[in-house]
A and B are shown apart, each in its own frame.
Chain A
Amino acid sequence: MFGVLNKNFLTGLLIVVFLALAPLVLTTHWIIILTEIIIMSLYAMSFNLLFGYTGLLSFGQAGFFGAGAYFSALTLAHFTSSFWVCVAVGVIGTALLAFVIGWFCVRLDEIYFAILTLGFGMMLFTLAHNWRSVTGGSDGLTILTLPVLTFSSYRLELFNPKIFYWLSLITVSLGIVVLRQVVNSPFGLLLTATRENSQRVSFVGQNVRTVRLVAFTIAGALAGMAGVLFGLFNRIASPEMLHWSFSGKAVLMTILGGSGVFLGPAVGTSIFFVLEHFITSYTTNWMIFLGAILIALVLLFPMGVLGTAASFISKQRGVMKHE
């Protein structure tokens, strides 16, 4: 047990170090793409805590993602310019919001849960879109001055793409560590148990709704964290970030990578953005290609790209061992 944990820790560390060194060799353009991939990975992984681990298909995750961006944009506009306060307000604010919305949503199952979360997400979208005096309406809230990060006499400039990249990497890594702890904790086992058989969980005296509500709140808070970063990254909180089609993006990227694997959503996110980048370079009819590739991936990779690859490799290993 201890050995496994250690190995995972080392792999994780290796990936983070590798990513941390990346800006030294990459062009600015690819640093920016990688920043977006890292932020969106946290978003997709937060969704997968509900989908892959708890068995709840949320179609309203963008609501929390966008709420994080709005909370931080409002904080920056009216209160403080501290980066960490900004993140804290975004995360705590969305956690509360997710708790309230989750309190209603966890009562339902399956497709009904999916549609109800879509409904709540779209209510948040409408709120952001129509409450012009506070949210700036459809134009969104522009972040005119980025928060500052000061370490004693050092002052970090967030509009430098490399620094923003490293900051995103640190913040997202923190988020992923939290997610990993949750998944590996006894509570994480309880989550998987509610997915497999919610009746049995209630037989052993656990309240399924409470378990789900906690998961919903954590997922919301982490999506909010990703949203804070995304808002700062784009210097704007806009209603599109709350729209159901943005929620659909999380679903798409997660299933693309594989919902059964911890890092599956992150791989799906990378594939999605790299694909999109190359397709849009060659044609403006990128949707038709994306659609076709999506169809092919669904048909050829029944467990997502990472999931299918992983099971293929372990099969190969198994064969080798037998020989």
Chain B
Amino acid sequence: MKKVSSIFLMLSFLVFSFGASSVMAAEAPVKLGFVYIMSGPFATYGQFAKHGAELAIDEINKGGGINGKKIEAFFEDSAGKPDVGIRVIRKLVYENGVDAVIGLDSSGVASAVAPIMKELKTPLIITHAATPDVTGKNCNRYTFRISLNENQNMKMAAAIAADMKARIWTTIGPDYSFGHQSWEYFEKYLREKKPDMGFVPVSDVAFAPMKTTDFSAYITKVMSSKADGVLVSLWGGNLIDFVRQASDMGFFDGKREVLLTLGAATEVLYTLKDKMPEGLWVGTRYWFDGNDSPENKSFVQAYKAKYDVYPSYNAHGAYAAVKAFAAAASKAKSTDKEKIVDSLSGLSLTLPVGKVTIRPEDHQAITDGMWGKTASDPVMPIRILKPVRNFVGADITPAVSETGCKME
């Protein structure tokens, strides 16, 4: 037993000496921590986000940095798991001493992390995770979101569905909170617009576990239902598998209207290429060809030049968050965390996606949104959106009273 404990002591001594040596150095640069899914089936999203963040940092550093200080970036992998997400964020704050945390793809991770930010007293800018709760009933002073959330996206989906021929709607989504919530919000908003619209009962809609690679059973279930409109909230690899298998099974034969809520992710379009059917309404948080503003043109050009692909909405999210942080810092003339938080709240700036305002009451970005119809273009390697339908931010964002947010 003695030898065992002496080894134990030695080991803990090692831990200690490492710990003591990693005391923070004097902080010269502005430090930003990024947390995305860098491994596993959704890792492409993390890769695009990393590129978007690096592009923004390059631009800012070349232009003299933030208040004269250069930005230093730290990237961490959340692996899409809440406990890992919390661990790396604590690491970023306590060890790397970051001034803000940017990122989060998974809603599960976002729900877990948001309350922690209150204790870490560090601003968090969410760029992808769409759960309404983090700017709703679990909102807090330190948590912001620069991208569209689920409600906003579903408001647009409902507006498009209202103008379609379909009379009875159903859904295929991932069998976790995001899929279920998307369907609930879609139903709610579409009912508001069209009270006589029919919806398939929840036992007859299709939710596929995230590990699904064969969607045939779910496709069959939806095809044999009475519905003539289908909301598809699958994303990433799931969406790729679904689209290919559904095409073969005649799902896109024109007998039903289809809305792909995250179908305009370039991560997906680059893999599917011409396997993505034409004429489908697809949603996104940002589309590289969505507007002709100088901000957008220069972003798309720079991104394409550097990485040889068009930026995805996740690349834009990370890029936008860095720009928003820089804007907040120059407005506050400081990178003090509390001052950044104050300055982010209510911040308005022009991003590639358009004019974005962070609502002070719940810290959700009010940003214009768009959906588009997939089309082919001989000079483009992927499907493009034509026509597109634009929505004004204020019209698609639920009122603060609806969100359940009580900012303390």
Contact = CB atoms under 8 A, between A and B. Distances in A.
A touches B in complex, CB < 8 A: yes
Contacts of A178: none
B12 A270 contact: yes
Given A15-B8, A132-B177, A306-B7, A144 B115 contact: yes
Nearest to A276: B87
Contact of B112 (A33, A142, A309): A142
Interface of B: 1-5, 7-9, 11-12, 14-16, 18-20, 22-24, 38-39, 75-77, 81-83, 86-88, 90-91, 94-95, 107-108, 111-112, 115-116, 119, 131, 133, 138, 175-178, 180
Contact of B180 (A137, A140, A267): A137
15 contacts: A15-B5, A26-B16, A26-B19, A27-B23, A28-B94, A29-B19, A29-B94, A142-B112, A159-B119, A267-B8, A280-B76, A280-B77, A284-B75, A285-B39, A313-B3
A135 to B, nearest CB: 11
Given A27-B94, A29-B95, A140-B112, A306 B82 contact: no
A143 B114 CA distance: 11
A27 B82 CA distance: 23
A251 B211 CA distance: 23
Contacts of A209: none
B166 to A, nearest CB: 27
A235 B5 contact: no
A234 B77 contact: no
Contacts of A28: 94
A138 B9 contact: no
B343 to A, nearest CB: 26
Contact of B22 (A19, A22, A29, A142): A29
Interface string A130-166: 1010001111101110000000000000010000000
A271 B12 CA distance: 10
Contacts, number: 143
Nearest to A230: B83
3 A-B pairs closest in CB distance: A30-B19, A138-B176, A29-B94
Nearest to A278: B18
B1 A11 contact: yes
Interface in A18-74: 18-19, 22, 25-30, 32-34, 36
B85 to A, nearest CB: 9
B83 to A, nearest CB: 5
Contact of B82 (A238, A271, A284): A238
Given A30-B19, A139-B108, A140-B111, A241 B176 contact: no
Interface string A263-291: 10011001100100100100011110000
Given A142-B111, A144-B115, A314-B3, A240 B81 contact: yes
Q: Which of A130, A139, A140, A274 has the most CB of B within 10 A?
A: A139
B22 A7 contact: no
Contacts of B94: 27-29, 32
A277 to B, nearest CB: 8
A234 B15 contact: no
A11 B88 contact: no
Contacts of B18: 30, 274
A241 B83 contact: yes
A34 B14 CA distance: 12
Nearest to B77: A284
Given A137-B177, A238-B82, A240-B82, A27 B112 contact: no
B4 A139 contact: no
Nearest to A14: B5
B82 A234 contact: yes
Contacts of B82: 140, 234, 236, 238, 240
Contacts of A212: none
Contacts of B12: 18-19, 22, 270
Contacts of B138: 142, 144
Nearest to B91: A29
Contacts of A4: 1
Given A7-B1, A142-B111, A144-B138, A30 B22 contact: yes
Contacts of A143: 115
Contacts of A132: 177, 180
A314 B3 CA distance: 8
A139 B7 contact: no
Given A25-B16, A27-B23, A240-B81, A235 B4 contact: no
A234 B76 CA distance: 18
A143 B24 CA distance: 30
Contacts of B88: 280
Q: Which of B15, B88, B138 has the most CB of A within 10 A?
A: B15
Contacts of B116: 234-235
A29 B111 contact: no
Contacts of A240: 81-83, 108
B83 A238 contact: yes
A271 B180 CA distance: 40
A234 B83 contact: yes
Contact of A139 (B20, B95, B111): B111
Contacts of B81: 240
Contacts of B77: 280, 284, 286
A129 interface: yes
A232 interface: no
Contacts of A263: 4-5, 8
Given A27-B95, A139-B131, A284-B38, A18 B108 contact: no
Given A29-B95, A235-B115, A139 B8 contact: no
A32 B88 CA distance: 11
A293 to B, nearest CB: 16
A240 B85 CA distance: 12
A197 interface: no
B336 to A, nearest CB: 19
B111 A130 contact: no
Interface string A186-229: 00000000000000000000000000000000000000000000
Contacts of B131: 139
A132 B177 CA distance: 8
A310 interface: yes
A261 interface: yes
Contacts of A142: 111-112, 115, 138
B295 to A, nearest CB: 30
Nearest to B179: A138
B54 to A, nearest CB: 14
